[in-house]
Chain A
């Protein structure tokens, strides 16, 4: 480059940017697109990053590193158990855990540890420290450690030892010495659990069972699919936002093509021009990213309490209610925005680089170019759809455990392919329409022809709308289908009217007392434990065992997905030693009815035949169902829950109330809350499950609605950006005697037509998406498959939404057209 290059670059950049001074609307639209794309994406990522950070802190604490030891009889552990094991030479460590209620009704987890016996390999034990801090920890007034984000809450508690900050602790968790925890939680000689370093291979006394740390799936793993869903939503929003950016950039380039040529003629080298355009993009990108990330964080802060509540309900993981963002989050947000911007701007740079200086002032053969572009889009879109079909076929043929990433790739291929095909399809539709319109309907004919002319400008916004509409329909149908299936399944699984969980000592008394009551029709005892699953002589890890009583009522209702012969045969088989497995286990291990699996029971290795597969929504683990008696004898499972089915009665509520009162008085059982209490009303249980369900998808739906809004915005900005040009096109009509109100109606009608066409395409696409979600994504993410439900109401809603978006988006430009003084129209007519 010549020596004058910096001056050239500066002048060029200034000249290019002056375009936005004259067209602030375009700049606004560009920034809006960037802002929205980056805001939604960063919002979702902020939630994910914050949650992951919470998980990392939780995992760093204990769960990922220490095995747990419990009493085989299910009784609570005490100091004596600890001493017995220590005196037997077992390097166990006691932990006391509980909840401290805050004045505001929330609660904090309190963990009391015994630092001297806590395995040294645990991360907790590897931090720095010195003698003074240990002494402070072990003797009055003691210390309590708390994460900075929970400090304020901890301060509201009275009677705590002095607080110390530990940023590595999970949120809403206090860690202190076991002596303090025992006092605050009134534990006396009780302890919550015993832990042992996983590498310590020791012989446990038979009264104790050990649960490996591997079996305690980490919260991060469990919630991964939830976050993946969020990420996919964020990605969708990002793509939709980038569509806006692309449209704005395309427009800005189109209007500056002449300027680019002039600059080239005046002696600006092509390279300098591209550099200046690149710098312009960078400037926009940084501004957009900054705006986006700031509002993304605000959005995340609004959504986070809901997310935290959902995750807590679903996976019992604690996620901080306040954002905690690592440095890479900020960097990542800027990177993804810039990356998105440059991918959207690449075509602009490419075209700018190939500007033909000699074409100064030449008109473009746009029609031919448009046609070839449409053909290319159709080709490319079709290729993507073929790819999607192949992937679907591949995923269907692999059957069992599927790769979630592949599932999302399938969704991406499907959506992108369909989006690319949309403009050629719309063009074709309009072409057909134009051919078959009656020649007398001149105005109608004009509007179809005019719509064809607008298509290149509108197509990106339409593609965004298509994506948003089909995502809306797809997710809506999936959630709706899930709700139907799930509620049905809840009804089938929760057969008893009341669930009683007595202590070991009370169990037999209570059982026989219940059996004698006339209002009780059937008792459904359950037990649960776990055993090692052996596959090809390899221990593949622990699997949950669930014991049920195969009473007639259960045999009638218990849902089964697949059996070797029929339901009756399956139940007989269960009574004769076969097992049922849940769908998750079946998919994970590739098991079908008739197959066998091996379990390591306390006594021996036993081989079991699978009689049936049952659906088990909401359970992340593989599970095996056996008769409860077998679980007690062969697997030494502790007593569990008693399901009480009431005899048919006219006043279920009153009978239940009476029974609960009797249980409370006679066995001192209480039944408030829902978790861990010995009495649970079936209705309460169902209500809780439904609430959890609704919450799970609340955020998905919120993001979905936002995406739809963004698509509408894309349409609006596209229309606004070309409003001026449009006026020049309608001015002749006005001059020919079409009233302005007619023109306004025509314009709205055109857009409604385009959106309707888009919606019609969105319906099959949305249904395909639903199919993918229930048959591929859900299977990969959760291990279960849902039946596909189609909701006509939802489809109608989608179409209505499209029309509404069209009207809303067309309203502002139309209103502006309506307000344009005739003199201006006249000028534009002259200019045209």
Chain B
């Protein structure tokens, strides 16, 4: 499903170049769930961006669904992203000018895979059925993140990439959202790569890795 091999990524900083990822290998099979942990600035998000094809590694290769990302054009990578991937961000990144329903179906529509039954199911499962005509700003934080998760799952992706999906939520809400996410992942059989710094959030995942000084190692919860 997702395979990263020998990934190296360096960023220029005022203090000189910083090697964020150093010869990292990672494989994620279909339906697997993996928690990627590490401290702030450890390169978790960078790894996620590389996996999504939003950025390209300095060295090494990223294969997504059997295709090597670095030899694809920007347009092909974008197509791959909308077809195969679901993305969930810490900041939600909902479109303020679109209704809840339109936000939910945005990526599915982009991918040309809108499925009304699935949309209704998602709305119900996410507890947003009564809010479908509202706008994101009229939702609570937890509702917004649920909507963001729904948007990512609406096109039935093979792989969900989530970057601190509960980082902006209080503990109780975060737990609810996580449970829902886990349930939906199980339902859809989609793989999950979640970046988090919280062991509690990571716990339900099948595999746990931690990034330290650019190196990837197994995490001990």
A and B touch in the complex (CB under 8 A): yes
Chain A neighbourhood of B96, CB < 8 A: 22, 259
Q: With an 8 A cutoff between CB atoms, is B63 at the interface?
A: no
Q: C-beta contact mask, B86-120 vs A, less than 8 Å → 1, else 0?
A: 01011101111110001000110111100000000
Q: C-beta contact mask, B192-205 vs A, less than 8 Å → 1, else 0?
A: 00000000000000
Are B87 and A259 in touch, CB under 8 angstroms? no
Closest to B109 in A: A11
Label chain B's interface by main secondary structure.
Answer: helix
Q: With an 8 A cutoff between CB atoms, is B2 at the interface?
A: no
Closest to B45 in A: A358
C-alpha gap A360/B87 in the complex (Å): 13
Q: C-beta contact mask, B134-165 vs A, less than 8 Å → 1, else 0?
A: 01000000000000000100000000000000
Are B97 and A11 in touch, CB under 8 angstroms? no
C-alpha gap A4/B83 in the complex (Å): 10
Closest chain-A Cβ to B72's Cβ sits at a distance in Å of: 11
Closest to B49 in A: A358
Known: A358-B49, A358-B54, A361-B89. Contact between A266 and B74, CB under 8 A?
Answer: no
C-alpha gap A266/B76 in the complex (Å): 13
Of B55, B98, B110, the contact of A4 (CB 8 Å cutoff): B110
Are B106 and A267 in touch, CB under 8 angstroms? no
Closest chain-B Cβ to A7's Cβ sits at a distance in Å of: 4
Q: C-beta contact mask, A240-281 vs B, less than 8 Å → 1, else 0?
A: 000000000000000000110111111111111000000000
**Residue total for B at the interface (Cβ-Cβ under 8 A):** 33
Closest to A273 in B: B78
Are A267 and B97 in touch, CB under 8 angstroms? no
Closest to A361 in B: B91
Are A18 and B93 in touch, CB under 8 angstroms? no
Q: With an 8 A cutoff between CB atoms, is A1 at the interface?
A: yes
Q: With an 8 A cutoff between CB atoms, is A824 at the interface?
A: no
Closest chain-B Cβ to A262's Cβ sits at a distance in Å of: 4
Chain B neighbourhood of A272, CB < 8 A: 75, 78
C-alpha gap A259/B92 in the complex (Å): 11
Closest to B52 in A: A265
Chain A neighbourhood of B37, CB < 8 A: none
Are A265 and B87 in touch, CB under 8 angstroms? yes
Are A360 and B89 in touch, CB under 8 angstroms? yes
Closest to B113 in A: A4
Known: A7-B109, A266-B106. Contact between A21 and B79, CB under 8 A?
Answer: no
Are B95 and A259 in touch, CB under 8 angstroms? yes
Closest to B53 in A: A267
Q: With an 8 A cutoff between CB atoms, is B208 at the interface?
A: no
Of B76, B90, B97, the contact of A19 (CB 8 Å cutoff): B97
Of B49, B54, B55, B76, the contact of A2 (CB 8 Å cutoff): B76
Of A15, A22, A23, the contact of B106 (CB 8 Å cutoff): A15
Q: With an 8 A cutoff between CB atoms, is B82 at the interface?
A: yes
Q: With an 8 A cutoff between CB atoms, is B85 at the interface?
A: yes
Across the A-B interface, how many residue pairs have beta carbons closer than 8 Å?
97
Q: With an 8 A cutoff between CB atoms, is A12 at the interface?
A: yes
Q: With an 8 A cutoff between CB atoms, is B81 at the interface?
A: yes
Are B95 and A360 in touch, CB under 8 angstroms? no
Known: A15-B95, A18-B97, A19-B97. Contact between A358 and B78, CB under 8 A?
Answer: no
C-alpha gap A271/B81 in the complex (Å): 15
Q: With an 8 A cutoff between CB atoms, is A357 at the interface?
A: yes
Residue among B89, B96, B109, B110 with most chain A CB within 10 A: B110
Closest chain-B Cβ to A650's Cβ sits at a distance in Å of: 83
C-alpha gap A186/B127 in the complex (Å): 96
Chain B neighbourhood of A21, CB < 8 A: 97
Q: With an 8 A cutoff between CB atoms, is A336 at the interface?
A: no
Of B75, B97, B110, B151, the contact of A7 (CB 8 Å cutoff): B110
Q: With an 8 A cutoff between CB atoms, is A313 at the interface?
A: no
Are B49 and A267 in touch, CB under 8 angstroms? no
C-alpha gap A23/B96 in the complex (Å): 11
Chain A neighbourhood of B49, CB < 8 A: 358
Closest chain-B Cβ to A423's Cβ sits at a distance in Å of: 29
Chain B neighbourhood of A15, CB < 8 A: 95, 97-98, 102, 106
* Residues from 64 to 82 in B contacting A, C-beta threshold 8 Å: 74-76, 78-82
Are B75 and A1 in touch, CB under 8 angstroms? yes
Residue among A7, A23, A267 with most chain B CB within 10 A: A267
Residue among B55, B74, B106 with most chain A CB within 10 A: B106
Are B78 and A268 in touch, CB under 8 angstroms? yes
Beyond contacts A4-B82, A360-B89: 19 other A-B pairs, Cβ-Cβ < 8 A, are: A4-B79, A7-B112, A8-B82, A15-B98, A18-B95, A259-B97, A261-B93, A262-B95, A263-B110, A265-B81, A265-B93, A266-B87, A267-B78, A267-B81, A267-B82, A267-B111, A268-B82, A357-B55, A360-B93
Query: Could you list 19 examples of A-B contacts with CB < 8 Å?
Result: A1-B75, A4-B111, A7-B112, A11-B106, A11-B110, A15-B102, A15-B106, A259-B97, A262-B95, A265-B81, A265-B93, A266-B82, A266-B107, A267-B78, A267-B80, A267-B107, A268-B82, A357-B55, A360-B93
